[in-house]
């Protein structure tokens, strides 16, 4: 399959009699800029025979709105990205078997065409298994219930459905001419996803399945290469690729395949109950430079924009609604600074090295126990060097080519001419921004109405002896399933006199459970991503005679990963028992249970604009606050301006949210984050437990409201609250820049400087501090400025022992009142050198408003 298209071209060319004609043909071909051949060799992906160093970024189309796509794509392009990578989300496209959806944020073709219009490439990861912290790993729930079904193994019903969907997507791309071989932007595809570890567990049927999947994919004849990530035995011609925080150690399984990193993790996902992970950009840049210096030629950031798990699309279970991922573009599509800017600088530095990188193999020179140089020298004279200091604590002074280079700990310097450092991974020249969430006016305060869900009414759909598995019953049309039963209590029961309530014990396969006794909430229990199962064990207020026990079992996203995760259960599988009765112990598991799928409000369609008036809402009052199982509704006008919007849900417990009938996802601020938020140093191996925030607070407090889902007036906001909360605390907020900082050494390498150097080597140019606010903001205050030896980081800078007395003046003169400004880092600008012969830097923080 390699170079199928290139080969066709060549054969056609030589078939035309005479060299001049074939030259003519080739000339016509390349100037048409239509079809191009994509192939690969041991160094790189080749496009029209040219080896390319490619920077890619994951943006998952359903995790934002179509109105956001052009801006996200442009910001990726400005950030130095060449390729947009996305999965294809089967369960979004085929919600019922044979019924397809390619509308709205599932308009895959539109998304790819927007990428094409921006002149970027696409890597299409068809899967159709995607993992992705997405509900059921991207598989439709109906797939599980096809007779004889086993996911992701040598299973005929599965292979039939997988092939059918893969074929359909490939046909759709072909008919829209979206493969590069047809003149489209898609240069790579992916079949399956991280299957290697599963194959390792299940053995032979897994190997058979891998071979089948590879052959099936190649047979689609897309004209572009396929990859299989985390699949060491990927059969030719498929390229096996790496996913991880670091991939420099990785090599493809054949010497003629390039070294590709399909997922360079920019951060990590947030789960309800977990702290929020962050990956310092110094370490991310270090890992990418390390990959490139060892011959890597393709890096994809997972995620470049993480976005939002709208509706009930998050998997896990327990994956939060925000899929921010600490990506270079934040959940709302704003630049995360300095991450975005520092990676942009890295990409420019790498691109300056491209001629040497694609032409030569690295020569590794040891410069000390923890110091190394990787040098790429081409026959045509190009030379690029990467100098590395792997020490996590000490600066390094590296001797290289008759010079000495100073490197911070855990960093790599890039020298595109083997002389001048244009970039160091730990020296962040890009501005940092601190963001804030500011309440906005919605034409008055949100005024709430409430509707109370009938907690544990015996309005059931059917009854059965025994306890049933939840997903089989709901087929995931709702998170909710009621299990209800009668309990008769004899008036002789001892506890009726002592007041020592009997204990109800419920074992559930997950994920959350609210227990109602005679219509009153008696307690709640829930699991976590690591332990979805739960036990409820609590005294319950039973009375003599008939009692009604109603268990509301709640799914919080279906699992997306694990060997045969499709067999994992949810719901109250029992046993359910009472202890503390005269008889000692009473098993309720095998009595008659009444079932009801979903909530009353769901069946009325209370979340929708047209149906929300089908019930009597009551004006919200103090008495209806803090009530479980309550629907709340308010209308509001859209605020002014174009800043991204969110709802602050911190006063609420757990539930779901809609605006104008569109689901904003599950909210659960009552689930506080556990974890250790103490330490964060960029130096040293990163893992997802490092650099956490939100410990002891809500894992997710703010919920993205895409502004294109709002009308100017009369927007309907609906929340369904399970536990009880205070809706008067809900506020609409906008996300904007609070302060921006620059923190730059006086002799910081900068790309611009390097280019000037190349022209006029004698002149030492000074770096500049660039500061800019959001488009509608102005710099209103200089919060901190110090040229000298300031300490701390953006948000908590402080003066060091050396400080230029006039550090503030230049910023007050040049920046105040402007949207953006630039100041050269030169002692003269700050009233002279405050401490000669000491390495100085400038730290500045300004307020945007
Ligand atoms: C689903 O439920 C039906 C009817 O209760 C039962 O026959 C079937 O075995 C269940 N399927 C699974 C996969 O649990
Ligand atoms: C934080 O850093 C200190 C000092 O380096 C160390 O003793 C401690 O174990 C670290 N804590 C965590 C959670 O890494
Ligand atoms: C918002 O406007 C659209 C059409 O512009 C309309 O269909 C929809 O009903 C409106 N929503 C509300 C809540 O008024």
pLDDT at 5 over 50: no
Cis amide linkage into residue 844, ω under 30° from 0: no
In angstroms, rounded to a whole number, what is the distance separating the alpha carbons of residues 846 and 784?
7
pLDDT tens-digit profile of 768-794? 888 999 888 999 999 999 999 999 999
Nearest CA to ligand 2 atom 7: 679
Q: What is the CA radius of gyration of the chain?
A: 30
Cβ atoms of 236 and 259 closer than 8 Å: no
Nearest CA to ligand 1 atom 7: 472
**What does DSSP assign to residue 457?**
-
Q: What is the pLDDT of residue 767?
A: 79
Half-sphere exposure of 509 (CA within 13 A, CB side): 16
> Which three-class secondary structure state does DSSP give residue 90?
helix
Which residue in the list 35, 263, 354, 736 is annotated as catalytic? 263
Indicate the pLDDT class of residue 759, thresholds 50, 70 and 90.
very low
Q: What is the pLDDT of residue 401?
A: 92
Q: What is the pLDDT of residue 765?
A: 52
Task: For residue 469, report the distance from its CA to the centre of ligand 1, in Å.
Answer: 8
Task: For residue 695, report the distance from its CA to the centre of ligand 2, in Å.
Answer: 16
State the average pLDDT over residues 135-159.
98
In angstroms, rounded to a whole number, what is the distance separating the alpha carbons of residues 160 and 177?
25
Residues 6 or more apart from 407 whose CB is under 8 A from it?
A: 371, 387, 388, 389, 395, 396, 397, 398, 413, 424, 426
pLDDT at 26 over 80: no
Cβ atoms of 454 and 480 closer than 8 Å: no
Task: For residue 246, report the distance from its CA to the centre of ligand 1, in Å.
Answer: 43
State the average pLDDT over residues 332-341.
97
In angstroms, rounded to a whole number, what is the distance separating the alpha carbons of residues 71 and 77?
10
Q: What is the pLDDT of residue 486?
A: 96
pLDDT at 29 over 50: no
State the average pLDDT over residues 661-679.
95
Task: For residue 711, report the distance from its CA to the centre of ligand 3, in Å.
Answer: 6
Sign of CA dihedral 721, 724, 728, 734: negative
Higher pLDDT, 443 or 677: 677
Q: What is the pLDDT of residue 626?
A: 83
Q: What is the pLDDT of residue 786?
A: 96
Q: Is 567 in the pocket of ligand 1 (CB under 6 A)?
A: no
Pocket of ligand 3 (CB under 6 A): 609, 660, 711, 714-716
Considering the chain, what percentage of its residues have pLDDT values greater than 90? 85
pLDDT tens-digit profile of 384-422? 999 999 999 999 999 999 999 999 999 999 999 999 999
Considering the chain, what percentage of its residues have pLDDT values greater than 70? 92
Pocket of ligand 2 (CB under 6 A): 676, 678-679
pLDDT at 613 over 60: yes
pLDDT at 31 over 60: no
Ligand nearest, relative to CA of residue 675: 2
pLDDT at 659 over 90: yes
Q: Is 469 in the pocket of ligand 1 (CB under 6 A)?
A: yes
State the average pLDDT over residues 231-238.
97
In angstroms, rounded to a whole number, what is the distance separating the alpha carbons of residues 410 and 432?
21
Q: What is the pLDDT of residue 447?
A: 87
pLDDT tens-digit profile of 707-741? 999 999 999 999 999 999 999 999 999 999 999 99
Indicate the pLDDT class of residue 616, thresholds 50, 70 and 90.
confident
Task: For residue 716, report the distance from its CA to the centre of ligand 3, in Å.
Answer: 10
Indicate the pLDDT class of residue 757, thresholds 50, 70 and 90.
low
- Segment among 330-334, 443-447, 582-586 with least mean pLDDT: 443-447
Q: What is the pLDDT of residue 33?
A: 44
Query: Closest ligand 1 atom, CA of 144?
Result: 13
Task: For residue 679, report the distance from its CA to the centre of ligand 2, in Å.
Answer: 6
Task: For residue 339, report the distance from its CA to the centre of ligand 2, in Å.
Answer: 24
Q: By C-alpha distance, which of 201, 336, 348, 319 is closest to 266?
A: 336
Residue 263 annotated in active site: yes
pLDDT at 238 over 50: yes
Q: What is the pLDDT of residue 390?
A: 98
Ligand nearest, relative to CA of residue 609: 3
Ligand nearest, relative to CA of residue 468: 1
pLDDT at 764 over 70: no
**Terminal-to-terminal C-alpha distance of the chain:** 56
Structure tokens at 786: 């110090």
Nearest CA to ligand 1 atom 5: 468
DSSP assignment of 742-786? EEEETT---HHHHHHHHH-TT--PPPEEEEE--TT--EEEEEEEE
pLDDT tens-digit profile of 789-809? 999 999 999 999 999 999 999
> Which three-class secondary structure state does DSSP give residue 685?
coil
Pocket test for ligand 2, best of 679, 687, 693 (most atoms within 8 A of CB): 679
Q: Is 472 in the pocket of ligand 1 (CB under 6 A)?
A: yes
DSSP assignment of 307-344? -B--TT-B-BTTB-SB--TT-SB-TTS-B-TTHHHHHH
In angstroms, rounded to a whole number, what is the distance separating the alpha carbons of residues 717 and 661?
8
Query: Closest ligand 1 atom, CA of 468?
Result: 5
Query: Closest ligand 3 atom, CA of 713?
Result: 14
Residues 6 or more apart from 749 whose CB is under 8 A from it?
A: 413, 420, 421, 422, 423, 424, 427
Residue 372 annotated in active site: no
In angstroms, rounded to a whole number, what is the distance separating the alpha carbons of residues 605 and 602?
5
Half-sphere exposure of 805 (CA within 13 A, CB side): 2
Q: What is the pLDDT of residue 758?
A: 53
State the average pLDDT over residues 33-45.
86
Structure tokens at 587: 């098993």
In angstroms, rounded to a whole number, what is the distance separating the alpha carbons of residues 162 and 230?
19
Q: What is the pLDDT of residue 198?
A: 97
State the average pLDDT over residues 537-544.
96
pTM for the whole thing? 0.93
Indicate the pLDDT class of residue 835, thresholds 50, 70 and 90.
very high
> Which three-class secondary structure state does DSSP give residue 828?
helix
Q: What is the pLDDT of residue 624?
A: 53
List 630's β-bridge partners, or say none. Answer: 452, 721
């Amino acid at each position: 399959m390699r170079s199928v298209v290139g080969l066709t071209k060549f054969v056609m060319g030589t078939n035309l009699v005479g060299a001049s004609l074939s030259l003519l043909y080739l000339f016509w071909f390349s100037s048409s800029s239509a079809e191009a051949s994509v192939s690969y060799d041991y160094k790189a992906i080749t496009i029209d025979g040219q080896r390319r160093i490619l920077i890619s970024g994951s943006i998952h189309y359903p995790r934002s709105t179509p109105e956001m796509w052009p801006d996200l794509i442009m910001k990726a392009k400005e950030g130095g990205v060449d390729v947009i990578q996305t999965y294809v989300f089967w369960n979004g496209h085929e919600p019922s078997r044979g019924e397809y959806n390619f509308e709205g944020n599932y308009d895959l073709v539109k998304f790819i065409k927007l990428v094409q219009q921006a002149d970027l490439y696409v890597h299409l990861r068809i899967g159709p298994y995607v993992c992705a912290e997405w509900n059921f790993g991207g598989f439709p729930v109906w797939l599980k219930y096809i007779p004889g079904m086993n996911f992701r193994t040598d299973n005929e019903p599965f292979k039939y459905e997988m092939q059918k969907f893969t074929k359909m997507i490939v046909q759709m791309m072909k008919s829209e001419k979206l493969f590069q071989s047809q003149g489209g932007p898609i240069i790579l595809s992916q079949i399956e996803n991280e299957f290697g570890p599963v194959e390792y567990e299940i053995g032979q049927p897994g190997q058979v399945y891998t071979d089948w999947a590879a052959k099936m994919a190649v047979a689609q004849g897309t004209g572009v290469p396929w990859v299989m990530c985390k699949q060491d035995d990927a059969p030719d011609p498929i390229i096996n690729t790496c996913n991880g925080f670091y991939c420099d150690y990785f090599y493809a399984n054949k010497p003629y395949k390039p070294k590709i990193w399909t997922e360079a993790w920019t951060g990590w996902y947030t789960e309800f109950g977990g702290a929020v992970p962050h990956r310092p950009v110094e370490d991310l840049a270090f890992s990418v430079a390390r990959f490139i210096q060892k011959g890597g030629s393709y890096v994809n950031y997972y995620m470049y924009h993480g976005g939002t798990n709208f509706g009930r699309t998050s998997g896990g279970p327990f994956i939060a609604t925000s899929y921010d991922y600490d990506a270079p573009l934040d959940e709302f599509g704003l630049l995360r600074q300095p991450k975005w800017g520092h990676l942009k600088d890295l990409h420019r530095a790498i691109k300056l090295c491209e001629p040497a990188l694609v032409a030569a193999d690295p020569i590794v020179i040891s410069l000390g126990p923890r110091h190394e140089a990787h040098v790429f020298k081409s026959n045509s004279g190009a030379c690029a060097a990467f100098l590395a200091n792997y020490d996590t604590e000490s600066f390094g002074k590296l001797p290289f080519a008759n010079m000495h280079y100073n490197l911070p700990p855990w960093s790599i310097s890039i020298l595109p001419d083997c002389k001048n450092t244009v970039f160091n991974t730990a020296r962040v020249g890009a501005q940092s921004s601190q963001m804030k969430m500011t309440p906005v006016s919605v034409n008055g305060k949100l005024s709430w109405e409430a509707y109370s869900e009938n907690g544990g009414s015996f309005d059931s759909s059917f009854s059965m002896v025994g306890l049933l598995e939840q997903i089989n019953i709901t087929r995931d049309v709702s998170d909710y399933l009621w299990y209800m039963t009668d309990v008769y209590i004899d008036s002789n029961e001892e506890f009726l006199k002592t007041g020592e309530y009997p204990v109800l014990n419920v074992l559930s396969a997950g994920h959350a459970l609210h227990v109602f006794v005679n219509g009153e909430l008696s307690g709640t229990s829930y699991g976590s991503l690591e332990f979805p199962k739960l036990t409820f064990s609590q005294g319950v207020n039973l009375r003599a005679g008939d009692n009604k026990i109603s268990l509301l079992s709640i799914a919080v996203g279906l699992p997306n990963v694990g060997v045969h995760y499709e067999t994992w259960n949810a719901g109250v599988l029992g046993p359910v028992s009472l202890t503390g009765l005269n008889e000692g112990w009473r098993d309720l598991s095998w009595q008659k249970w009444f079932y009801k799928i979903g909530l009353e409000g769901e069946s009325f369609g209370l979340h929708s604009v047209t149906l929300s008036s089908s019930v009597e809402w009551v004006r919200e009052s103090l008495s209806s606050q803090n009530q479980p199982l309550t629907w709340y509704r308010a209308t509001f006008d859209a605020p002014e301006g174009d800043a991204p919007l969110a709802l602050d849900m911190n006063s609420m417990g757990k539930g779901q949210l809609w605006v104008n009938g569109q689901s904003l996802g599950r909210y659960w601020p009552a689930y506080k984050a556990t974890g250790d938020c103490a330490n964060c140093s960029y130096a040293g191996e990163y893992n997802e437990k490092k650099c956490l925030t939100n410990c002891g607070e809500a894992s997710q407090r703010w919920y993205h409201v895409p502004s294109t889902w709002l009308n100017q007036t009369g927007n309907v906001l609906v929340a369904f609250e399970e536990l009880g909360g205070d809706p008067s605390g809900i506020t609409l907020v906008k996300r904007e820049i609070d302060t921006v900082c620059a923190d730059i050494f006086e002799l910081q390498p900068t790309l611009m400087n390097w280019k000037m150097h190349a022209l006029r080597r004698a002149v030492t140019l000074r770096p500049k501090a660039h500061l800019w606010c959001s488009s509608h903001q102005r710099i209103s205050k200089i919060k901190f400025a110090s040229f000298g030896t300031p300490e701390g980081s953006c948000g908590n800078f402080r003066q060091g022992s050396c400080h230029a007395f006039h550090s503030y003046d230049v910023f007050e003169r040049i920046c105040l009142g402007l949207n953006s400004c630039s100041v050269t880092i030169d002692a003269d600008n700050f009233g002279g050198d405050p401490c000669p012969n000491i390495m100085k830097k400038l730290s500045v923080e300004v307020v945007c408003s």
